[in-house]
A and B are shown apart, each in its own frame.
Chain A
């Protein structure tokens, strides 16, 4: 078997079942007597609903029931709640308009659920839905940020003036303005962070099940956090007490954030199952996913940096408009504020920062956290701005970064925007990144490419991110309506094998492997005798799920604590069995020994004694060897690093080819290097997608133009170059593992590196900045526009 503990690239346990088609996804589940739900969605962005005639649909073959928003409202079913409450600059709470599960009175985006048809087959439900007569009166819609904040814009929600959800700020504007007034240089950049559609491979599915004998509800759902769904849906929407509601999220085929949130469909099928007293299943079609899964990003910003003559950053001033879509999704308000504005120091010593964020409602699908969530937006803004500073001032872009880095000896480092970074070494990740990418030899490659008629460019991004979400008290003070600790139960079975019950959720990350490796290292139990259980509120203790690269840093730390308890109890049992003092018992590699003697007991001896307590200190100690620990992190974790992209542009067509990508990340302690490499590669692929291809496109009227894979450009394997992925790690100082997190770094660090490379490739064309995605069509227009000017020069 070889070494299978912390640091080993153990093959992923779960892949055997995934790759052999034996995964158990939500859509693989069918309940006896199951009915099917089809959700009728708005085909228009904004309209008043005069009425819905359900008679014909209700009478259609196979139809059991048809429900509309009025039916849910009549039973006092709550709206879909938002998990964060932010406050405006003036202290008043953000606008939090109602978000009914099925539309009441109005529809506000294409895809907004209007009615549900429940029938014996999917086909019959869909047939009947065509018979619904919905009396719409179209209203003017706002489909993008600029239109939504324009004077006289149509209002998405009555009474939400100017479509502003909140107007929030961080930093002291007067101080920052003062710094700008006295600065030698001020460099300004307007930029857009393009809207993305997550497109997890598995579409969302929800099955509501109602047990007529016990009155218990079960929801099977494609979720990253079943306990969060149980809490939100049970307590706020359906008023089902938690003891009567079980939420199961089995194998989940990718989430990237989009499966964190509590969605209307989950509430609809669970509620409907109770009404029809039979299981109700809904499976999203791919086109439904495009118009109902929460989208990501979508910022419009103006960024300004004040500098001294040598290029030291003196102050940063930012104004951002962030699109919320038509309703507030679970995490949405936190993304452009606490996950974005607090990261604007980046890896730099910028002493003062001011950022104003206006969150804006539009007639589009709700926007929420998507792989990276706020940190990619912050990183893109900073790393583009720095390249533009280099462009405008003539300073070297590497020197500029180096000179402004927070030095390795400055940790813990308090930024001016609330965060305290615990560790990092940005000079080292930069140095290794430049070396691995062959930065110094680049000009020769540029020249060689030119001989082939190609424009070659290189771009860099040096970044930090905040993950391992999050200290409960801190996020509570920032408006979170939940705690963000994690929990683990370590159950040592009588014969010494172990089951781990984790509150985190694996939807592709490989927890069944990584978390098992922690047990191998700490308890010395062989890898194949460790099972990881997640995703079922009936099995696992109350945990918060997986997002924000938190599973290892927070969930793994809970496991370490629980295993510490197992060892502590084991020592007491061992002391009893070996007639020694507890203080003299040592535990290592699965064996308890009496220090200085050859007396020893294996963990199996101890667990057997614990469950068969014939010879046992029963007066002082409970039987069993099963410990639970909750871990509330002391701080965020701060992975960081250096990403370098190299591109070639075909000047005749504008098409960009990614030719090299180098990532050097500091993710803290690495448990499984192969999994870390895979996570970075996947994140970088998504970052390249955002930078070069992906774009959610609404037309002016609010119709979704990129509503299928025919028009939404997903990166494909052959769009992604071979990558050099390495780590240069400093340890997280405040959790027992030293791990920081690796799930999002790829998507955070890479987009600005790619765009910086594209801009570098076009440097002879007078390009200072361009917005993502850098498609062939866009670059061709830029090249076209510049060519006559170049010819004239």
Chain B
């Protein structure tokens, strides 16, 4: 990596100040994406701002919502009793991210801010219709993701927590990239009294997206059969050495049915 300055501010205000004042300063959460990027010299920050002393970690239940601090590690989400009981799809999803080491360092805020098109959490946030809280505002999931590796976050804006409505049912199914084990197709389905939301990660050229045809069918009939006949076009899907866009389109159907079967 290139040389950089390192700061570990003790307050959110201080962190925001450093990050907003310097376009080349970058936040560091669990480092599970950022540090490999630094090691490959793909990023040259002036200052790395460590978010670990801002008190952004923790999981709380408030009414029909679960609030997860941005610095909460994947391992905590995977093992948290409230999340397991109320949003089992999310606990399961967290347990499938990377390996033990990754899960004990990586954070929800880091994953969402990064918005890797093959990352898992974006599908949960979008399917659950959650909101992202930052140092300055609240952003709805539907507005947050803006294409691969792109989000609504402004320069220097820090995610502080994520608020997720508790669904009636939820599940995540992941078809892994055989090498990296990120998602080639990941499907998060959430059933609410108001209807079903289903988000797909790993497959779309523009990153995570909602599958509205499936949502409609599932809102009418929450069963795998309801979406058996839905064909997904491969037009806007990724294609790489591991999976063609046609394969991904097919997998969206298979994996979605499995997610629904698991949730139902």
Which A residues contact B (CB, under 8 angstroms)? 123, 126-127, 287, 652-653, 693, 697, 705-706, 709-714, 775-777, 780-781, 784
Contacts and interface: CB of A to CB of B under 8 A. Distances in A.
A777 B141 CA distance: 32
B194 interface: no
Contacts of B243: 777
30 contacts: A123-B3, A126-B41, A127-B2, A287-B40, A652-B254, A653-B251, A653-B254, A693-B178, A705-B241, A706-B179, A706-B241, A709-B179, A709-B180, A710-B179, A710-B180, A711-B179, A711-B180, A711-B241, A711-B242, A713-B178, A713-B179, A775-B178, A775-B242, A776-B178, A777-B242, A777-B243, A777-B244, A780-B247, A781-B247, A784-B250
Contacts of A775: 178, 242
A706 B242 CA distance: 10
Interface in B1-23: 2-3
B34 interface: no
Q: Is the interface of B mostly helix, strand, loop or mixed?
A: loop
Contacts of A777: 242-244, 247
A549 B109 CA distance: 51
Interface in B226-247: 241-244, 247
A708 B178 CA distance: 13
A248 to B, nearest CB: 29
Interface string B28-45: 000000000000110000
A780 B40 CA distance: 34
B241 A697 contact: yes
B179 A712 contact: yes
Contacts, number: 38
Interface in B141-155: none
Contacts of B178: 693, 713, 775-776
A705 B243 CA distance: 14
Interface residues of B, number: 16
Q: Most chain-A Cβ atoms within 10 A of its Cβ — which of B41, B179, B243? A: B179
Nearest to A781: B247
B54 to A, nearest CB: 29
Nearest to B242: A777
Contacts of B175: 653
Tell me whether chain A's interface is mostly helix, strand or loop, or mixed.
loop
A713 B179 CA distance: 4
A577 to B, nearest CB: 62
A710 B180 CA distance: 4
A209 to B, nearest CB: 28
B24 to A, nearest CB: 17
Nearest to A124: B3
A392 to B, nearest CB: 30
Given A127-B2, A710-B180, 14 more contacts: A123-B3, A126-B41, A653-B175, A653-B251, A653-B254, A697-B241, A705-B241, A711-B179, A713-B178, A775-B178, A777-B247, A780-B250, A781-B247, A784-B250
Contacts of A705: 241
A122 to B, nearest CB: 11
Interface in B172-186: 175, 178-180
A712 B180 CA distance: 8
Contacts of A709: 179-180
Q: Which 9 A-B pairs have the closest CB atoms?
A: A713-B179, A710-B180, A713-B178, A652-B254, A777-B247, A777-B243, A697-B241, A711-B179, A705-B241
Contacts of A706: 179, 241
Contacts of B250: 780, 784
Contacts of A653: 175, 251, 254
B219 to A, nearest CB: 24
A123 B40 CA distance: 12
Contacts of A693: 178-179
Nearest to B185: A653
Contacts of B244: 777, 781
Contacts of B3: 123
A714 B251 CA distance: 23
Nearest to A699: B241
A713 to B, nearest CB: 4
A697 B244 CA distance: 15
Nearest to B254: A652
